[in-house]
Structure 1
Amino acid sequence: MEYVFKTNGISKKYGKFTALSDVNMEIPKGAIYGFVGKNGAGKTTLIRVMTGLQRPTDGSYELMGKANNDKDIAKARRRMGAVVESPAIYMDMSARDNLIQQCLMLGLPDFKCVDEILELVGLADTGKKKARNFSLGMRQRLGIGVALCGSPDFVVLDEPINGLDPQGIIEVRELILKLNRERGITFLISSHILDELAKVATNYGFIDKGHIVRQMTSKELADECRKSVRMKVSDVGILSKILEEKSLDYKVVDSNTADVYAELTFSDVAKDFEQAGCKIINMQERDESLEAFYLSLLGGSEDVQKSVC
Protein backbone atom coordinates (compact mmCIF):
# COMPACT_ATOMS: atom_id res chain seq x y z
CA MET A 1 0.00 0.00 0.00
CA GLU A 2 1.20 3.51 -0.83
CA TYR A 3 1.25 6.06 1.98
CA VAL A 4 1.38 9.86 1.80
CA PHE A 5 2.66 10.03 5.37
CA LYS A 6 4.31 7.39 7.51
CA THR A 7 6.12 7.68 10.84
CA ASN A 8 8.64 5.44 12.54
CA GLY A 9 8.72 5.87 16.31
CA ILE A 10 8.37 9.66 16.39
CA SER A 11 8.78 11.39 19.74
CA LYS A 12 8.60 15.08 20.60
CA LYS A 13 9.70 16.56 23.90
CA TYR A 14 9.53 20.06 25.31
CA GLY A 15 11.99 20.02 28.18
CA LYS A 16 10.76 17.33 30.55
CA PHE A 17 7.31 17.17 28.93
CA THR A 18 6.74 14.44 26.33
CA ALA A 19 4.08 15.47 23.80
CA LEU A 20 4.60 12.50 21.48
CA SER A 21 6.07 9.12 22.37
CA ASP A 22 7.03 6.41 19.85
CA VAL A 23 4.28 7.35 17.40
CA ASN A 24 3.72 5.02 14.45
CA MET A 25 1.14 6.27 11.95
CA GLU A 26 0.32 5.43 8.33
CA ILE A 27 -1.97 7.54 6.13
CA PRO A 28 -2.88 5.68 2.91
CA LYS A 29 -2.91 7.57 -0.36
CA GLY A 30 -6.47 8.59 -1.29
CA ALA A 31 -7.80 8.24 2.26
CA ILE A 32 -9.77 10.65 4.42
CA TYR A 33 -7.97 9.98 7.68
CA GLY A 34 -9.90 10.93 10.80
CA PHE A 35 -7.47 11.90 13.56
CA VAL A 36 -9.14 11.53 16.96
CA GLY A 37 -7.95 12.45 20.44
CA LYS A 38 -8.89 14.61 23.40
CA ASN A 39 -7.32 18.00 24.11
CA GLY A 40 -3.63 17.63 24.91
CA ALA A 41 -3.40 14.14 23.41
CA GLY A 42 -0.78 15.22 20.86
CA LYS A 43 -2.84 15.84 17.71
CA THR A 44 -1.65 19.37 16.99
CA THR A 45 1.96 18.55 17.87
CA LEU A 46 1.99 15.69 15.36
CA ILE A 47 0.38 17.92 12.73
CA ARG A 48 3.07 20.55 13.33
CA VAL A 49 5.77 17.92 12.85
CA MET A 50 4.02 16.66 9.73
CA THR A 51 3.83 20.15 8.19
CA GLY A 52 7.44 21.00 9.03
CA LEU A 53 6.59 23.59 11.67
CA GLN A 54 8.46 21.52 14.26
CA ARG A 55 11.07 18.77 14.21
CA PRO A 56 10.75 15.45 16.02
CA THR A 57 13.03 14.87 18.99
CA ASP A 58 13.43 11.20 18.03
CA GLY A 59 12.27 8.91 15.26
CA SER A 60 11.68 9.63 11.58
CA TYR A 61 8.90 10.03 9.05
CA GLU A 62 8.24 9.94 5.32
CA LEU A 63 6.13 12.47 3.42
CA MET A 64 5.18 11.58 -0.16
CA GLY A 65 7.91 8.93 -0.06
CA LYS A 66 10.62 11.37 1.06
CA ALA A 67 12.33 10.92 4.44
CA ASN A 68 12.31 13.89 6.79
CA ASN A 69 16.10 14.19 6.50
CA ASP A 70 16.04 13.96 2.70
CA LYS A 71 17.26 17.07 0.88
CA ASP A 72 14.09 16.94 -1.28
CA ILE A 73 11.64 16.94 1.65
CA ALA A 74 10.83 20.60 0.88
CA LYS A 75 9.68 19.59 -2.60
CA ALA A 76 7.43 16.90 -1.10
CA ARG A 77 5.99 19.44 1.32
CA ARG A 78 5.05 21.71 -1.60
CA ARG A 79 2.57 18.99 -2.58
CA MET A 80 0.86 19.47 0.76
CA GLY A 81 -1.70 22.05 1.91
CA ALA A 82 -2.79 22.72 5.48
CA VAL A 83 -5.18 24.66 7.68
CA VAL A 84 -3.70 24.37 11.18
CA GLU A 85 -5.71 25.70 14.16
CA SER A 86 -7.30 28.55 12.15
CA PRO A 87 -7.40 29.56 8.45
CA ALA A 88 -4.37 31.65 7.42
CA ILE A 89 -6.26 34.39 5.59
CA TYR A 90 -5.94 38.16 5.30
CA MET A 91 -9.07 39.72 6.75
CA ASP A 92 -8.72 42.98 4.80
CA MET A 93 -8.51 41.17 1.47
CA SER A 94 -11.17 39.64 -0.75
CA ALA A 95 -11.28 35.90 -1.35
CA ARG A 96 -9.67 36.40 -4.77
CA ASP A 97 -6.83 38.53 -3.38
CA ASN A 98 -6.19 35.99 -0.63
CA LEU A 99 -5.72 33.26 -3.23
CA ILE A 100 -3.54 35.47 -5.42
CA GLN A 101 -1.35 36.26 -2.41
CA GLN A 102 -0.94 32.54 -1.70
CA CYS A 103 0.00 31.89 -5.33
CA LEU A 104 2.67 34.60 -5.05
CA MET A 105 4.03 33.06 -1.83
CA LEU A 106 4.25 29.65 -3.52
CA GLY A 107 6.03 31.17 -6.53
CA LEU A 108 3.41 29.92 -8.99
CA PRO A 109 3.94 31.19 -12.57
CA ASP A 110 0.37 32.49 -12.93
CA PHE A 111 -2.98 32.80 -11.19
CA LYS A 112 -4.95 30.48 -13.47
CA CYS A 113 -6.03 28.32 -10.56
CA VAL A 114 -7.73 31.18 -8.67
CA ASP A 115 -11.07 31.24 -10.50
CA GLU A 116 -11.32 27.47 -10.41
CA ILE A 117 -10.64 27.33 -6.65
CA LEU A 118 -13.14 30.14 -5.93
CA GLU A 119 -15.80 28.18 -7.80
CA LEU A 120 -14.80 24.96 -6.08
CA VAL A 121 -15.11 26.37 -2.55
CA GLY A 122 -18.30 28.30 -3.32
CA LEU A 123 -16.85 31.82 -3.12
CA ALA A 124 -16.94 32.82 -6.79
CA ASP A 125 -19.67 35.43 -6.19
CA THR A 126 -18.09 37.24 -3.22
CA GLY A 127 -16.48 39.91 -5.42
CA LYS A 128 -14.57 42.57 -3.46
CA LYS A 129 -16.17 41.64 -0.14
CA LYS A 130 -13.46 41.45 2.51
CA ALA A 131 -12.87 38.27 4.45
CA ARG A 132 -13.59 40.08 7.73
CA ASN A 133 -17.22 40.27 6.58
CA PHE A 134 -17.44 36.55 5.76
CA SER A 135 -19.33 34.08 7.90
CA LEU A 136 -17.29 31.48 9.79
CA GLY A 137 -18.20 28.88 7.19
CA MET A 138 -17.06 31.14 4.34
CA ARG A 139 -13.75 31.83 6.10
CA GLN A 140 -13.22 28.13 6.64
CA ARG A 141 -13.89 27.41 2.97
CA LEU A 142 -11.53 30.23 2.01
CA GLY A 143 -8.88 28.68 4.25
CA ILE A 144 -9.34 25.39 2.43
CA GLY A 145 -9.13 27.29 -0.86
CA VAL A 146 -5.80 28.79 0.21
CA ALA A 147 -4.58 25.27 1.07
CA LEU A 148 -5.57 24.13 -2.44
CA CYS A 149 -3.30 26.63 -4.19
CA GLY A 150 -0.52 24.74 -5.91
CA SER A 151 -2.71 21.64 -6.49
CA PRO A 152 -1.68 19.64 -3.39
CA ASP A 153 -2.01 15.87 -3.20
CA PHE A 154 -2.37 15.90 0.59
CA VAL A 155 -4.35 18.38 2.71
CA VAL A 156 -4.31 18.62 6.51
CA LEU A 157 -7.32 20.20 8.23
CA ASP A 158 -7.17 20.87 11.97
CA GLU A 159 -10.72 21.20 13.39
CA PRO A 160 -12.25 22.35 10.05
CA ILE A 161 -15.84 22.53 11.34
CA ASN A 162 -15.19 23.91 14.81
CA GLY A 163 -17.71 26.67 15.58
CA LEU A 164 -19.66 26.27 12.35
CA ASP A 165 -23.45 26.23 12.16
CA PRO A 166 -25.18 23.16 10.63
CA GLN A 167 -25.19 24.66 7.12
CA GLY A 168 -21.50 25.50 7.34
CA ILE A 169 -20.71 21.96 8.51
CA ILE A 170 -22.59 20.49 5.55
CA GLU A 171 -20.78 22.78 3.08
CA VAL A 172 -17.32 21.88 4.40
CA ARG A 173 -18.20 18.17 4.51
CA GLU A 174 -19.41 18.14 0.91
CA LEU A 175 -16.33 20.06 -0.23
CA ILE A 176 -13.98 17.52 1.39
CA LEU A 177 -15.85 14.59 -0.16
CA LYS A 178 -15.84 16.24 -3.58
CA LEU A 179 -12.11 16.97 -3.50
CA ASN A 180 -11.35 13.43 -2.35
CA ARG A 181 -13.56 11.69 -4.91
CA GLU A 182 -13.00 13.90 -7.95
CA ARG A 183 -9.37 14.93 -7.44
CA GLY A 184 -8.04 12.07 -5.37
CA ILE A 185 -6.76 14.41 -2.65
CA THR A 186 -5.78 12.66 0.56
CA PHE A 187 -7.00 14.35 3.74
CA LEU A 188 -6.05 14.22 7.38
CA ILE A 189 -8.87 15.71 9.46
CA SER A 190 -8.49 16.38 13.16
CA SER A 191 -11.90 16.89 14.75
CA HIS A 192 -13.73 16.77 18.07
CA ILE A 193 -17.12 16.37 16.36
CA LEU A 194 -16.86 12.61 16.04
CA ASP A 195 -20.26 11.74 14.64
CA GLU A 196 -19.68 14.28 11.84
CA LEU A 197 -16.20 12.87 11.21
CA ALA A 198 -17.77 9.43 10.79
CA LYS A 199 -19.67 10.76 7.73
CA VAL A 200 -16.49 11.35 5.73
CA ALA A 201 -13.58 9.31 7.13
CA THR A 202 -12.30 6.19 5.39
CA ASN A 203 -9.56 5.57 7.97
CA TYR A 204 -9.01 6.47 11.63
CA GLY A 205 -6.15 7.06 14.01
CA PHE A 206 -6.83 7.33 17.74
CA ILE A 207 -4.23 9.12 19.86
CA ASP A 208 -4.02 9.39 23.65
CA LYS A 209 -1.26 10.78 25.86
CA GLY A 210 1.09 11.07 22.89
CA HIS A 211 0.58 7.46 21.71
CA ILE A 212 -1.33 6.13 18.70
CA VAL A 213 -3.53 3.60 20.49
CA ARG A 214 -5.29 2.26 17.39
CA GLN A 215 -5.54 2.67 13.61
CA MET A 216 -8.36 1.16 11.60
CA THR A 217 -10.42 1.48 8.44
CA SER A 218 -14.02 2.67 8.42
CA LYS A 219 -15.07 -0.90 7.61
CA GLU A 220 -13.24 -2.24 10.65
CA LEU A 221 -14.88 0.43 12.76
CA ALA A 222 -18.31 -0.42 11.34
CA ASP A 223 -17.75 -4.07 12.24
CA GLU A 224 -16.97 -3.10 15.84
CA CYS A 225 -19.82 -0.61 16.01
CA ARG A 226 -22.31 -2.83 14.20
CA LYS A 227 -25.98 -2.82 15.03
CA SER A 228 -27.19 -5.18 17.70
CA VAL A 229 -30.17 -6.02 19.85
CA ARG A 230 -29.46 -5.75 23.55
CA MET A 231 -31.47 -8.38 25.42
CA LYS A 232 -32.01 -8.36 29.15
CA VAL A 233 -33.20 -11.75 30.40
CA SER A 234 -33.69 -13.68 33.62
CA ASP A 235 -30.96 -16.23 32.78
CA VAL A 236 -28.15 -15.35 30.39
CA GLY A 237 -26.97 -18.98 30.39
CA ILE A 238 -30.23 -20.11 28.80
CA LEU A 239 -30.03 -17.19 26.37
CA SER A 240 -26.56 -18.34 25.30
CA LYS A 241 -27.77 -21.89 24.72
CA ILE A 242 -30.73 -20.77 22.59
CA LEU A 243 -28.65 -18.37 20.49
CA GLU A 244 -25.94 -20.97 19.88
CA GLU A 245 -28.56 -23.46 18.73
CA LYS A 246 -29.73 -20.84 16.23
CA SER A 247 -26.09 -20.04 15.20
CA LEU A 248 -26.55 -16.38 16.07
CA ASP A 249 -23.59 -14.16 16.94
CA TYR A 250 -23.77 -12.56 20.38
CA LYS A 251 -21.72 -11.12 23.24
CA VAL A 252 -22.52 -11.49 26.94
CA VAL A 253 -22.45 -8.12 28.71
CA ASP A 254 -23.29 -9.23 32.26
CA SER A 255 -25.21 -11.94 34.12
CA ASN A 256 -28.54 -10.76 32.70
CA THR A 257 -27.61 -9.00 29.46
CA ALA A 258 -26.25 -9.87 26.03
CA ASP A 259 -25.87 -8.10 22.68
CA VAL A 260 -27.20 -10.10 19.75
CA TYR A 261 -25.86 -9.24 16.29
CA ALA A 262 -28.88 -10.23 14.25
CA GLU A 263 -32.31 -8.97 13.23
CA LEU A 264 -34.70 -10.02 16.02
CA THR A 265 -38.33 -9.36 16.84
CA PHE A 266 -39.94 -10.12 20.15
CA SER A 267 -42.57 -12.44 18.69
CA ASP A 268 -39.90 -14.54 16.91
CA VAL A 269 -37.90 -15.31 20.05
CA ALA A 270 -40.46 -15.12 22.87
CA LYS A 271 -41.80 -18.65 22.34
CA ASP A 272 -38.34 -20.30 22.41
CA PHE A 273 -37.38 -18.45 25.58
CA GLU A 274 -40.67 -19.25 27.28
CA GLN A 275 -40.28 -22.96 26.54
CA ALA A 276 -36.74 -22.88 27.92
CA GLY A 277 -37.89 -21.18 31.12
CA CYS A 278 -36.15 -17.88 30.48
CA LYS A 279 -38.01 -14.58 30.79
CA ILE A 280 -37.25 -11.72 28.38
CA ILE A 281 -37.23 -8.52 30.44
CA ASN A 282 -36.64 -6.16 27.50
CA MET A 283 -35.07 -5.87 24.03
CA GLN A 284 -33.55 -2.72 22.58
CA GLU A 285 -31.84 -1.96 19.27
CA ARG A 286 -28.37 -0.47 19.61
CA ASP A 287 -25.99 1.18 17.13
CA GLU A 288 -22.73 2.27 18.75
CA SER A 289 -21.47 5.65 17.53
CA LEU A 290 -17.86 6.65 16.84
CA GLU A 291 -17.97 8.71 20.03
CA ALA A 292 -19.09 5.72 22.09
CA PHE A 293 -16.40 3.55 20.50
CA TYR A 294 -13.74 6.14 21.27
CA LEU A 295 -14.81 6.39 24.90
CA SER A 296 -14.80 2.60 25.27
CA LEU A 297 -11.39 2.41 23.57
CA LEU A 298 -9.89 4.72 26.18
CA GLY A 299 -11.96 3.39 29.04
CA GLY A 300 -14.04 6.55 28.69
CA SER A 301 -14.37 8.61 31.80
CA GLU A 302 -16.53 11.69 32.25
CA ASP A 303 -13.45 13.90 31.83
CA VAL A 304 -12.63 12.22 28.50
CA GLN A 305 -16.19 12.70 27.29
CA LYS A 306 -16.18 16.40 28.14
CA SER A 307 -12.94 17.00 26.26
CA VAL A 308 -14.06 15.07 23.17
CA CYS A 309 -17.55 16.47 22.79
Structure 2
Amino acid sequence: MSNALRVIRGEFGRVCLLDMNRPLVRHAHHHVHFLVKAEGADTFFEVRGVTVELTDTLGVVMNAWEPHSYVHDPKKPPTIILAFYIEPAWLASYCLDWQYMPDTQIFSGNRVLLDWTARCYVQDLAQLMVLHPVQTAEHVACLSQLMMHLVHTLTDQQTLRRSLRELARGSSLLPPVRRALSLISQEPAIYSDIGALTRKVGVSRAHLYRMFEDSIGIPPKLYANAVRIERAISIVSQPDAKMMSISDDLGFSAPAHFSRFFHDHAGSYPTTWRSAVAE
Protein backbone atom coordinates (compact mmCIF):
# COMPACT_ATOMS: atom_id res chain seq x y z
CA MET A 1 0.00 0.00 0.00
CA SER A 2 1.41 3.41 -1.01
CA ASN A 3 1.52 6.09 1.68
CA ALA A 4 2.38 9.73 2.22
CA LEU A 5 5.25 9.89 4.70
CA ARG A 6 5.41 13.68 4.99
CA VAL A 7 3.67 16.64 3.35
CA ILE A 8 4.69 20.29 3.59
CA ARG A 9 2.58 23.15 2.24
CA GLY A 10 2.94 26.86 1.61
CA GLU A 11 2.75 29.62 -0.99
CA PHE A 12 5.02 27.45 -3.12
CA GLY A 13 2.37 24.70 -3.33
CA ARG A 14 3.19 21.42 -1.63
CA VAL A 15 5.96 18.84 -1.42
CA CYS A 16 5.15 15.21 -0.64
CA LEU A 17 7.42 12.39 0.39
CA LEU A 18 5.60 9.33 -0.99
CA ASP A 19 6.37 5.66 -0.37
CA MET A 20 5.08 4.16 -3.62
CA ASN A 21 4.37 0.48 -4.29
CA ARG A 22 1.29 0.70 -6.53
CA PRO A 23 0.34 2.63 -9.68
CA LEU A 24 -1.40 5.99 -9.94
CA VAL A 25 -4.10 6.58 -12.53
CA ARG A 26 -3.68 9.01 -15.42
CA HIS A 27 -4.14 12.52 -14.05
CA ALA A 28 -2.95 16.11 -14.35
CA HIS A 29 -2.32 19.18 -12.18
CA HIS A 30 -2.42 22.92 -12.52
CA HIS A 31 1.00 22.85 -10.83
CA VAL A 32 4.42 22.56 -12.36
CA HIS A 33 5.41 19.07 -11.28
CA PHE A 34 8.87 17.76 -10.35
CA LEU A 35 9.50 14.14 -9.31
CA VAL A 36 12.79 12.89 -7.91
CA LYS A 37 13.76 9.59 -6.33
CA ALA A 38 14.74 9.80 -2.68
CA GLU A 39 15.26 6.09 -2.02
CA GLY A 40 14.47 2.61 -3.34
CA ALA A 41 14.16 1.03 -6.76
CA ASP A 42 14.42 2.84 -10.07
CA THR A 43 10.99 3.29 -11.61
CA PHE A 44 9.19 5.29 -14.30
CA PHE A 45 6.23 7.49 -15.17
CA GLU A 46 4.28 7.81 -18.37
CA VAL A 47 3.89 11.40 -19.56
CA ARG A 48 1.57 11.83 -22.55
CA GLY A 49 2.10 8.13 -23.26
CA VAL A 50 5.91 8.34 -23.25
CA THR A 51 7.93 6.41 -20.65
CA VAL A 52 10.17 8.65 -18.51
CA GLU A 53 12.65 6.99 -16.12
CA LEU A 54 13.04 8.00 -12.51
CA THR A 55 16.48 7.07 -11.16
CA ASP A 56 19.17 8.43 -8.85
CA THR A 57 20.40 10.72 -11.64
CA LEU A 58 17.24 11.26 -13.70
CA GLY A 59 14.21 13.19 -12.49
CA VAL A 60 10.85 13.83 -14.14
CA VAL A 61 9.52 17.32 -14.82
CA MET A 62 6.09 18.27 -16.15
CA ASN A 63 4.45 21.47 -17.25
CA ALA A 64 1.04 22.37 -15.89
CA TRP A 65 -1.75 20.12 -17.19
CA GLU A 66 0.52 17.49 -18.73
CA PRO A 67 -1.33 14.16 -18.28
CA HIS A 68 0.75 11.45 -16.64
CA SER A 69 0.56 8.24 -14.61
CA TYR A 70 2.83 6.26 -12.33
CA VAL A 71 3.50 2.69 -13.43
CA HIS A 72 4.85 0.55 -10.61
CA ASP A 73 6.57 -2.76 -11.35
CA PRO A 74 5.19 -5.19 -8.70
CA LYS A 75 8.37 -7.28 -8.98
CA LYS A 76 10.45 -4.37 -7.71
CA PRO A 77 10.62 -3.02 -4.15
CA PRO A 78 8.88 0.27 -3.32
CA THR A 79 10.29 3.65 -4.29
CA ILE A 80 10.28 6.72 -2.06
CA ILE A 81 9.54 9.70 -4.28
CA LEU A 82 9.88 13.38 -3.47
CA ALA A 83 7.02 14.96 -5.41
CA PHE A 84 6.87 18.73 -5.91
CA TYR A 85 3.57 20.42 -6.81
CA ILE A 86 4.74 23.98 -7.44
CA GLU A 87 2.42 26.94 -7.95
CA PRO A 88 3.29 28.64 -11.27
CA ALA A 89 3.12 32.13 -9.73
CA TRP A 90 5.69 31.14 -7.08
CA LEU A 91 7.96 29.51 -9.63
CA ALA A 92 7.79 32.66 -11.78
CA SER A 93 9.98 34.41 -9.20
CA TYR A 94 12.84 32.21 -10.42
CA CYS A 95 12.07 32.66 -14.10
CA LEU A 96 11.24 36.31 -14.77
CA ASP A 97 10.24 35.84 -18.42
CA TRP A 98 7.50 33.46 -17.30
CA GLN A 99 5.75 36.15 -15.27
CA TYR A 100 4.28 37.52 -18.47
CA MET A 101 3.21 34.10 -19.80
CA PRO A 102 1.88 32.01 -16.90
CA ASP A 103 0.39 29.41 -19.24
CA THR A 104 3.64 28.82 -21.11
CA GLN A 105 4.86 25.26 -21.48
CA ILE A 106 8.02 26.27 -19.72
CA PHE A 107 9.92 22.98 -20.10
CA SER A 108 10.54 21.49 -23.51
CA GLY A 109 11.13 17.94 -22.22
CA ASN A 110 10.16 15.71 -19.30
CA ARG A 111 13.60 14.47 -18.24
CA VAL A 112 16.02 16.33 -16.00
CA LEU A 113 19.57 15.20 -15.32
CA LEU A 114 20.22 15.55 -11.59
CA ASP A 115 23.76 16.69 -10.93
CA TRP A 116 25.58 16.29 -7.63
CA THR A 117 24.26 19.60 -6.26
CA ALA A 118 20.64 18.72 -7.07
CA ARG A 119 20.98 15.28 -5.47
CA CYS A 120 22.40 16.86 -2.31
CA TYR A 121 19.45 19.27 -2.11
CA VAL A 122 17.03 16.36 -2.61
CA GLN A 123 18.56 14.31 0.18
CA ASP A 124 18.75 17.31 2.50
CA LEU A 125 15.08 18.14 1.99
CA ALA A 126 13.90 14.52 2.33
CA GLN A 127 15.85 14.03 5.57
CA LEU A 128 14.66 17.37 6.91
CA MET A 129 11.03 16.40 6.25
CA VAL A 130 11.44 13.05 8.04
CA LEU A 131 13.59 14.13 10.98
CA HIS A 132 11.86 17.48 11.58
CA PRO A 133 8.20 16.98 10.62
CA VAL A 134 7.10 20.35 12.02
CA GLN A 135 7.45 22.69 9.07
CA THR A 136 9.91 25.57 9.46
CA ALA A 137 11.56 28.26 7.36
CA GLU A 138 14.43 25.81 6.90
CA HIS A 139 12.18 23.53 4.83
CA VAL A 140 11.18 26.40 2.55
CA ALA A 141 14.77 27.62 2.21
CA CYS A 142 15.96 24.14 1.21
CA LEU A 143 13.08 23.84 -1.26
CA SER A 144 13.84 27.26 -2.74
CA GLN A 145 17.50 26.36 -3.30
CA LEU A 146 16.52 23.16 -5.09
CA MET A 147 13.91 24.89 -7.26
CA MET A 148 16.29 27.66 -8.25
CA HIS A 149 18.93 25.10 -9.19
CA LEU A 150 16.52 22.98 -11.24
CA VAL A 151 14.93 25.92 -13.04
CA HIS A 152 18.29 27.40 -14.00
CA THR A 153 19.31 23.97 -15.28
CA LEU A 154 16.13 23.26 -17.21
CA THR A 155 14.66 26.48 -18.53
CA ASP A 156 14.89 26.78 -22.29
CA GLN A 157 14.62 30.51 -22.97
CA GLN A 158 13.61 29.91 -26.59
CA THR A 159 10.54 28.03 -25.34
CA LEU A 160 9.48 31.11 -23.39
CA ARG A 161 9.86 33.63 -26.21
CA ARG A 162 6.83 32.74 -28.27
CA SER A 163 5.49 34.88 -31.09
CA LEU A 164 2.60 37.28 -30.60
CA ARG A 165 0.45 34.95 -32.71
CA GLU A 166 1.15 32.02 -30.38
CA LEU A 167 0.49 34.17 -27.30
CA ALA A 168 -2.84 35.36 -28.69
CA ARG A 169 -3.92 31.81 -29.50
CA GLY A 170 -2.86 30.44 -26.12
CA SER A 171 -4.50 33.19 -24.07
CA SER A 172 -8.03 32.86 -25.51
CA LEU A 173 -10.54 30.20 -24.49
CA LEU A 174 -13.74 29.54 -26.37
CA PRO A 175 -16.88 30.56 -24.41
CA PRO A 176 -18.05 26.93 -23.88
CA VAL A 177 -14.67 26.03 -22.36
CA ARG A 178 -14.68 29.08 -20.09
CA ARG A 179 -18.22 28.21 -19.00
CA ALA A 180 -17.26 24.58 -18.34
CA LEU A 181 -14.19 25.58 -16.29
CA SER A 182 -16.30 27.92 -14.18
CA LEU A 183 -18.98 25.29 -13.56
CA ILE A 184 -16.46 22.62 -12.55
CA SER A 185 -14.70 25.05 -10.21
CA GLN A 186 -17.98 26.15 -8.57
CA GLU A 187 -19.67 22.74 -8.31
CA PRO A 188 -17.18 19.89 -8.80
CA ALA A 189 -19.56 17.41 -7.18
CA ILE A 190 -22.14 18.02 -9.91
CA TYR A 191 -20.07 18.80 -12.96
CA SER A 192 -17.53 16.02 -12.63
CA ASP A 193 -20.38 14.20 -14.38
CA ILE A 194 -19.50 15.13 -17.96
CA GLY A 195 -23.05 14.40 -19.12
CA ALA A 196 -24.39 17.04 -16.72
CA LEU A 197 -21.62 19.40 -17.81
CA THR A 198 -22.34 19.11 -21.54
CA ARG A 199 -26.08 19.60 -20.96
CA LYS A 200 -25.44 22.77 -18.95
CA VAL A 201 -22.91 24.17 -21.42
CA GLY A 202 -25.07 23.22 -24.38
CA VAL A 203 -22.56 21.36 -26.56
CA SER A 204 -22.07 17.71 -27.45
CA ARG A 205 -19.68 15.53 -25.47
CA ALA A 206 -17.43 15.05 -28.51
CA HIS A 207 -17.29 18.80 -29.19
CA LEU A 208 -16.49 19.62 -25.56
CA TYR A 209 -13.72 17.01 -25.47
CA ARG A 210 -12.22 18.41 -28.66
CA MET A 211 -12.30 22.01 -27.36
CA PHE A 212 -10.69 20.97 -24.03
CA GLU A 213 -7.93 19.05 -25.79
CA ASP A 214 -7.25 21.96 -28.15
CA SER A 215 -7.17 24.65 -25.45
CA ILE A 216 -5.94 22.95 -22.27
CA GLY A 217 -4.42 19.71 -23.53
CA ILE A 218 -6.51 17.33 -21.43
CA PRO A 219 -10.09 16.01 -21.58
CA PRO A 220 -12.75 17.57 -19.32
CA LYS A 221 -12.90 14.50 -17.05
CA LEU A 222 -9.20 14.83 -16.17
CA TYR A 223 -9.73 18.51 -15.47
CA ALA A 224 -12.72 17.77 -13.23
CA ASN A 225 -10.73 15.10 -11.38
CA ALA A 226 -7.89 17.59 -10.87
CA VAL A 227 -10.28 20.09 -9.32
CA ARG A 228 -11.81 17.43 -7.07
CA ILE A 229 -8.48 16.06 -5.82
CA GLU A 230 -7.13 19.55 -5.08
CA ARG A 231 -10.33 20.39 -3.19
CA ALA A 232 -10.09 17.06 -1.35
CA ILE A 233 -6.42 17.57 -0.40
CA SER A 234 -7.18 21.03 0.95
CA ILE A 235 -10.06 19.81 3.13
CA VAL A 236 -8.47 16.51 4.23
CA SER A 237 -5.48 18.48 5.52
CA GLN A 238 -7.77 20.19 8.03
CA PRO A 239 -7.70 18.07 11.22
CA ASP A 240 -11.38 18.53 12.12
CA ALA A 241 -12.91 17.78 8.71
CA LYS A 242 -15.02 14.61 8.60
CA MET A 243 -14.28 12.11 5.84
CA MET A 244 -17.98 11.36 5.35
CA SER A 245 -18.74 15.05 4.81
CA ILE A 246 -15.83 15.47 2.39
CA SER A 247 -17.02 12.46 0.41
CA ASP A 248 -20.58 13.80 0.21
CA ASP A 249 -19.52 17.37 -0.63
CA LEU A 250 -17.38 16.17 -3.55
CA GLY A 251 -20.12 13.99 -5.00
CA PHE A 252 -18.97 10.47 -4.11
CA SER A 253 -21.66 7.88 -3.50
CA ALA A 254 -19.76 6.29 -0.60
CA PRO A 255 -16.70 7.14 1.54
CA ALA A 256 -14.94 4.02 0.19
CA HIS A 257 -15.20 5.43 -3.35
CA PHE A 258 -13.76 8.74 -2.18
CA SER A 259 -10.92 6.97 -0.37
CA ARG A 260 -10.02 4.96 -3.47
CA PHE A 261 -10.17 8.08 -5.69
CA PHE A 262 -7.88 9.92 -3.26
CA HIS A 263 -5.37 7.07 -3.17
CA ASP A 264 -5.38 6.63 -6.96
CA HIS A 265 -4.61 10.33 -7.50
CA ALA A 266 -2.55 11.38 -4.47
CA GLY A 267 -0.69 8.14 -3.68
CA SER A 268 -2.08 7.79 -0.15
CA TYR A 269 -5.35 7.18 1.64
CA PRO A 270 -6.86 10.38 3.07
CA THR A 271 -6.44 9.45 6.74
CA THR A 272 -2.75 8.66 6.20
CA TRP A 273 -2.34 11.89 4.23
CA ARG A 274 -3.77 13.89 7.11
CA SER A 275 -1.29 12.31 9.52
CA ALA A 276 1.60 13.18 7.16
CA VAL A 277 0.78 16.88 6.85
CA ALA A 278 3.34 19.00 8.68
CA GLU A 279 1.99 21.91 10.68
Larger radius of gyration: 1
Query: Going by fraction, where is helix more abundant, 1 or 2?
Result: 2
TM-score by length of 2: 0.30
Higher strand share: 1
> Normalization by structure 1: what TM-score?
0.28
